[in-house]
Amino acid sequence: MSNGIDRESIRNAYEEVRQDGVTTGDELSRRSKFALIAWIGQNVSAIKKARMSTDKAFVKEVIRNFAVELQFNELEELDEDSIKTEVMKAGGANYGTGSRD
């Protein structure tokens, strides 16, 4: 049974993002960190939520390296600063002298 997920397209998009030089951390510990973000709107039916959960599992078979997994269902939650904070927390120790606003 096909779930309609194109693993090769996911893998290609993932590699393209990884080659973008995305980094986080302090001046002593710079590294690339990724967040796996899932969006489920408030009005999504239970059946579609269950299917999304299954589809996300297939995506995670291809995209295995991410620092944090986040799930949102309200637009207000999808905030760049909040996401950066979660990625920084997942990154571990902060050795530098800069602030972590």
Tens-digit pLDDT profile for residues 4-48: 778 888 888 888 877 766 766 556 556 677 889 998 988 999 999
27 or 58: which leads in pLDDT: 58
Rounded to a whole number of angstroms, the distance between the first and last alpha carbons of the chain is: 47
State the pLDDT at residue 45.
Answer: 93
* H/E segment holding residue 92: none
State the pLDDT at residue 28.
Answer: 58
Which CATH number applies to 7-90?
A: 3.40.20.10
- Please state the separation of Cα 89 from the chain's center in Å: 14
State the pLDDT at residue 1.
Answer: 42
Q: What is d(CA 61, CA 21) in angstroms, rounded to the nearest whole number?
A: 23
State the pLDDT at residue 69.
Answer: 93
96 or 90: which leads in pLDDT: 90
